[in-house]
Amino acid sequence: MCEAAMAAVRGSNTKPPLERISVFGANGHIGRPLADWMRANSPSTGLKLVMRNEDHRAALATAFPQAEICIANYYDLGSLESALSGVQGAFIVTPDFLDEQRAMTNFVYAARTNPGLRHIVRLIADPPGMTAERVPDSLKAFGGGTAVQHLRAKAILEQSGLPFTYINIAAYFMQNFLTPFFNGPIRAERILSVPRNRRMGFIDTHDIGACAAAILLSGNQRHIGQTYHLDNGHDVLWFDEVASLMSDVFDQTITYDGTDETFLRICGEGVKAYIGRPDADQYYINYFQFEQDNETVWRKSDIVEFLTGRPAKTLRQWLSENKHNILGQ
């Protein structure tokens, strides 16, 4: 029985279910699974699917014919007001290197134009317990990025008085292994190139979407104000252990290489092109060091099962399902 059902049975502090929910980033690897989970578990809940541009409108309209689809930009107050109009709940996720000060200030103003907005779930990604004061100057100097932007966002949102629940990704997305950051070296040289061998948790983005959906659908008011640190409850591994697991699942040797030199050689140009800054490769070297310095905080919990009623996917399962996409075969 999922958390929402248990809450109802036990008489928790609940309100009627939300009738209509906005899903920002609805075409992404968290927003799309969230929408799928809502449709499967609460087909009567209205969906407003929010994207930054028109590129995926046709695909979403085909997949979700009953949903409203709209375009919104965090830097455009009017578009945010439209995206939040007529809904009682919202899920928000932001891209890397966004100006969160500007974006979340706009979001707060837009949210206040809808007095019927009862619950907002915001995705963040910080080591549990992290504060802005503890982030190294080398990462602050970059001006943005995961190390600082979610801390800045939460500071603004906390002052707004709006009904937020935060889901903090206390793990690496398993889908990272399909990106050029990690996938390029695996395909090219059968190398897992991740500087700074360190402990890390892992989670499938489909499980993240399911957790966000379950929170918004539950009606349990005790979620509001909470921060839930999501992990898959099974895998907290050193990256050389991840390479060994890959070798076992793929039935071929994947070598771990934790040197800066290999990462810069194989991934450096791609990282700079992806971020659009010539110093982006050094930023990530510094970020990997930041993760290593905080490697003791990752842990295993039952939070996904508590929220959704089903266990999270293990890394072994996910690697097996995505073997050919990772290896390029």
pLDDT by 10s per residue, the chain, length 329 = 455 444 444 445 888 999 999 999 999 999 999 999 999 999 999 999 999 999 999 999 999 999 999 999 999 999 999 999 999 999 999 998 899 999 999 999 999 999 999 999 999 999 999 999 999 999 998 888 888 999 999 999 999 999 999 999 999 999 999 987 788 899 999 999 999 999 999 999 999 999 999 999 998 999 999 999 999 999 999 999 999 999 999 999 999 999 999 999 998 888 888 778 888 899 999 999 999 999 999 999 999 999 999 999 999 999 999 999 999 87
Please, which residues have CB within 8 angstroms of residue 12's CB and are 6 or more apart in sequence? 220, 221, 222
Q: Which residues of 67-96 are buried (b: 16+ CB within 10 A; e: fewer)?
A: bbbbebbbeebebbbbbbbebbbbbbbbee
Cβ distance 182 to 291 under 8 Å? no
Task: Report the alpha-carbon distance of residue 215 to residue 224 in Å, rounded.
Answer: 9
Asked if the structure places residue 165 within a domain, the reply is: yes
Domain range for 113? 3-171+202-233+299-313
Alpha carbon of 245 to those of 53, 124, 260, 267, 304: distances in Å? 38, 28, 22, 22, 23
Task: Report the alpha-carbon distance of residue 201 to residue 222 in Å, rounded.
Answer: 26
Task: Report the alpha-carbon distance of residue 67 to residue 61 in Å, rounded.
Answer: 7
3-state SS track over 100-125 = HHHHHHHHHHHHHCCCCCCEEEEEEC
Task: Tell me what pLDDT residue 9 has.
Answer: 43
Residue 49's beta-bridge partner residues?
A: 23, 69
| CATH number of the domain where residue 99 is located | 3.40.50.720
Asked if the structure places residue 229 within a domain, the reply is: yes
Cβ distance 207 to 213 under 8 Å? no
Residue 165's beta-bridge partner residues?
A: 121
Q: Which amino acid is at 272?
A: K
DSSP 235-276: -EEEHHHHHHHHHHHHTS--EEE--HHHHHHHHHHHHHHHHT
Asked if the structure places residue 303 within a domain, the reply is: yes
Cβ distance 234 to 312 under 8 Å? yes
Task: Report the alpha-carbon distance of residue 87 to residue 89 in Å, rounded.
Answer: 6
3-state SS track over 217-235 = HHCEHHHCCCEEEECCCCC
| Prediction pTM value | 0.94
Asked if the structure places residue 133 within a domain, the reply is: yes
Asked if the structure places residue 116 within a domain, the reply is: yes
Asked if the structure places residue 226 within a domain, the reply is: yes
Among residues 32, 39, 79, the alpha carbon closest in space to that of 56 is found at 32
Q: If you ran DSSP here, which 8-state letter would residue 91 be given? A: E
Asked if the structure places residue 247 within a domain, the reply is: no
Cβ distance 125 to 167 under 8 Å? no
**206 C-beta neighbours (distance < 10 Å), count:** 20
Task: Report the alpha-carbon distance of residue 119 to residue 12 in Å, rounded.
Answer: 17
Cβ distance 41 to 217 under 8 Å? yes
**232 C-beta neighbours (distance < 10 Å), count:** 26
Overall domain count for the chain? 1
Q: 3-class SS at 21? A: strand
Cβ distance 199 to 238 under 8 Å? yes
Asked if the structure places residue 46 within a domain, the reply is: yes
Task: Report the alpha-carbon distance of residue 321 to residue 183 in Å, rounded.
Answer: 15
